[in-house]
Amino acid sequence: MPTRRELIRELTAAVGAANVLWRPEDLLVYEFDGTIERQAPHAVVFPAGAEETAAVIRACNRLGIPITPRGAGTGLSGGAIPTRRGVIIATARMRRILEIDPVNRLAVVEPGLPNLQLSEAAAAHGLFYAPDPSSQRACTIGGNVAENAGGPHCLALGVTQNHVIGLEVVTAAGEVTWLGNRVPDAFGYDLRGAFVGSEGTLGIATKVVVRLLPLPASVVTLLGIFDTVEQASHTVSAIIAAGMIPAAMEMMDRLTIEAAEAGLQCGYPPDAGAVLLVELDGLPGPVETQAARARAECFENGAREVRVAQDAHERELLWKGRKGAIGALGRIAPNYYILDGVVPRSKLVEVMARVSAIAESYGLPCANVFHAGDGNLHPLILFDERQPGMPAKVLAAGAEIMRACVDAGGSLSGEHGIGFEKRDFMPWLYSETDIAHMEQLRGVFGNSGDFNPCKLLPTGTGCGEMAHQEAALRAAGPDAYV
Ligand SMILES: Cc1cc2nc3c(=O)[nH]c(=O)nc-3n(C[C@H](O)[C@H](O)[C@H](O)COP(=O)(O)OP(=O)(O)OC[C@H]3O[C@@H](n4cnc5c(N)ncnc54)[C@H](O)[C@@H]3O)c2cc1C
């Protein structure tokens, strides 16, 4: 077991003293992400690139110290929480756009780049980066790769997996390698594909090659206003059944609308039961035709009004409400627990009713804001963590909601990942053999359990030593590390 002093000496040798945090007050902000769980690391390091990242990983492996990669910490499944303490490797110093290649329509970026900055830079070339998580002002491209992030505009264009063509990676063993490259659809085993969505359990992405798309020639954004979530849900199915795949189709329920309007003044009617934000893009003619059809489907399914954004400012305002809705819910309760289930679109109405019933049975308010077109639900349970026993109650309600999604033929995550929080639910969907294969894949990248431990795979795979480590810590005294 290394002492604190030994660990800091090794980390300092790898990245320099200015890029190592270890004082408790400096570590406070690294003990959580967007979820309920918390754990403080022993140290946080900020490498400048692949070589320094590799040096940190090799030092930690030598000392037997757990490692947790971290981007912006906006994750919603506990992926960046250092569950077994140890060292957080943060990508905040790797945030450059290294290249935008308009001819080949790609960009090479560092992993700590905030998502939105990529599209802002690409716009100068008439291009954009499609995956647009609602957290895109803060979340990083590296975090998006690890979580296979989605966003409102992934309905037609697909999630991160479809937009990353190559990765420079430092594996859990501390080796620098490339997975894929600048040419899409490389032959052989798709290790790039395996890395995207691996939730920081195989290594750290230190460069990312992404596909850029041309900005659409024309965009129409409309807001369907409904009395009930059921009407809005039927509209979602009707629009898809009519042969359209809008760029985005996002729903918010009454509680969310109230909070968003009060906090952001975006023009939503606060007395509506649900709103559906539909965006269509492409060539002007077909887009106008599709918008008229989508509008008609809204009315056909009971909309009391459909507003069409008249200019970029109005469109921005409508999106401001959607993208800021989760933060705005802070007006109602100091904490939220956001779930991320997927259900077949045809089951939206049924599962939403079940979600409400579960929340009600626990006496917990629940808001809903979600990517309706994908059947990707985000029930947000609102609570105050200072109330005794509340986090456990919220987690129990969350587990029931996830079970309801799976029972409806759905899945455990559409975009936020499994992380720490849902790892024990994996056997609901995967056999022992499946899970064993996933565990073997970790081994291929050199992860024997200490690289982002207790994430993605069920307890026991990488978490077995927890109790043992805590006992060792107590026995070794205050200067010990693990
Ligand atoms: C208000 C709000 C709205 C959100 N909306 C969306 C949404 O619409 N769609 C969506 O998909 N998500 C959404 N999220 C969730 C979150 O923003 C995404 O999961 C995002 O991809 C996380 O990025 P991050 O940089 O914050 O990563 P972190 O939270 O720091 O880390 C997430 C995971 O990635 C790993 N990781 C980080 N960087 C690397 C790297 N370079 N290499 C390897 N592993 C790494 C970490 O170990 C961890 O497991 C939302 C979150 C919030 C708070």
Contact 290, 244 (CB under 8 A): yes
Confidence of residue 463 (pLDDT cuts 50, 70, 90): low
Ligand 1 centroid – CA 75 distance (Å): 4
Provide the pLDDT for residue 477: 43
127: which strand partners? 214
Beta carbon of 148 within 6 Å of any ligand 1 atom: no
Please give the model's pTM, rounded to 2 decimal places.
Answer: 0.95
Which of 74, 421, 422 for mutating ligand 1's site (highest number of atoms within 8 Å of CB)?
74
Contact 465, 471 (CB under 8 A): no
The span from the CA of 343 to the CA of 451, in Å, is 31
In the chain, how many domains are there?
A: 4
The span from the CA of 180 to the CA of 284, in Å, is 36
Interacting residues of 17 by C-beta distance below 8 A, sequence separation 6+: none
**Domain presence at residue 117:** yes
The span from the CA of 130 to the CA of 180, in Å, is 19
Looking at 293, 327, 361, the residue that finishes a domain is 327
CATH number of 344's domain = 3.30.70.2740
The span from the CA of 295 to the CA of 289, in Å, is 10
Q: Which of 158-167, 182-191, 391-400 is the least confident region?
A: 182-191
**Domain presence at residue 427:** no
Query: Domain of 73?
Result: 4-91+438-476
35 and 126 fall within a common domain: no
206 and 224 fall within a common domain: no
Interacting residues of 444 by C-beta distance below 8 A, sequence separation 6+: none
The span from the CA of 18 to the CA of 186, in Å, is 40
Beta carbon of 133 within 6 Å of any ligand 1 atom: yes
Model confidence over 198-250: pLDDT tens digits?
A: 999 999 999 999 999 999 999 999 999 999 999 999 999 999 999 999 999 99
Ligand 1 centroid – CA 219 distance (Å): 28
**Buried b / exposed e along 15-33 (16+ C-beta atoms within 10 A):** beeebbbbeeeebeebbbb
222 and 288 fall within a common domain: yes
Looking at 214, 238, 267, the residue that finishes a domain is 214
Model confidence over 272-314: pLDDT tens digits?
A: 999 999 999 999 999 999 999 999 999 999 999 999 999 999 9
Evaluate if residue 478 carries a pLDDT over 60. no
**Domain presence at residue 429:** no
